[in-house]
Amino acid sequence: MWDTISDKLRKAEKIVFVTGAGISQESGIPTFRGKDGLWRKYDPMKLATIDAFYEDPKLVWEWYEERRQNILNASPNSGHVAITELEKFKQVSILTQNIDGLHQRAGSTNVYELHGSIITIKCTVCDFKNKITSRFLQLPPLCKCGNILRPDVVWFGEALPQDAWESAMVQASTCDTMIVVGTSLEVSPANLLPVYAKQNGAIIIEVNVEQTHMSSSMDLSLRESAAKALPGLVDTISGS
């Protein structure tokens, strides 16, 4: 089976990666649903919903500022770098649930952030949006219009950014290989992306240290971390 998949991977023209928190874990960024995940320590309803934000914006901002500093101190790992290297040989797109920007920092050029970015802020009222360049003097920070700024991330109960999601559906529906990395795909609508790829006849490979509810529908599942599995997988695809 592996020989057949290897042959198809080498012939692949368009490869789409769907990535989640697992790929960044080895860069020191905690996952959400793993055994040491953030949601085992914190209540997401108090930190990652619009209601929680309006109830206590300072608390929510303090939590996101701590996470942002951790992310800024992290570096891309060999999994991120391997995906970047693959761009030399294939057409590559990344549909990521991560908000850490590590794919871009590794050098990947075609990244769609489905859940937004922790490096970006936006106003709760006007259309202001910008990258965060320094620490805030006060929390919660205020927009020039006088209203509260918020992290530009997707919270529970919110829709994905329409442009990013529409692009993701197109990418998934037109690829011949999809590699699902470090995500259990328990969150909708991102869990539909492999379905779109399968409808196009794509090979779907899962890279995850744990079995997921999607594993049975994969053509191949690699029970390794992204940092360990992806360099070898990329060598297979590039024919190295």
- Residues taking part in catalysis: 115
126 known ligand binder: yes
67 known ligand binder: yes
Helix (H) or strand (E) holding 57: helix 57-73
Q: Where are the beta strands (DSSP E) in 98-156?
A: 111-113, 116-123, 129-131, 149-153
Are the C-beta atoms of residues 19 and 205 closer than 8 Å to each other?
A: no
42 known ligand binder: no
Distance separating alpha carbons of residues 31 and 41, to the nearest angstrom: 11
110 known ligand binder: no
205 known ligand binder: no
64 known ligand binder: yes
Phi, psi of 9 (to 5 degrees): -65, -40
186 known ligand binder: no
210 known ligand binder: yes
Query: 131 has which bridge partners?
Result: 120
175 known ligand binder: no
- The residue with tokens 């996952």 is 31
First vs last Cα of the chain: how many Å apart?
20
183 known ligand binder: yes
99 known ligand binder: yes
- Helices then strands, counting H and E runs in the chain, come out as 11, 9
84 known ligand binder: no
Rounded-to-5 percentages of helix, strand, coil across the chain: 40, 20, 40
Please tell me what DSSP assigns to residue 133.
-
Distance separating alpha carbons of residues 217 and 225, to the nearest angstrom: 19
Per-residue exposure over 194-225, b if at least 16 CB sit within 10 Å of its own CB, e if not: bebbbeeebbbbbbbeeebebeeebbbbbeeb
201 known ligand binder: no
Bind-site residues for NAD(+): 97-100, 182-184, 208-210, 226
Bind-site residues: 64, 67, 97-100, 123, 126, 143, 145, 182-184, 208-210, 226
Bind-site residues for Zn(2+): 123, 126, 143, 145
Bind-site residues for substrate: 64, 67
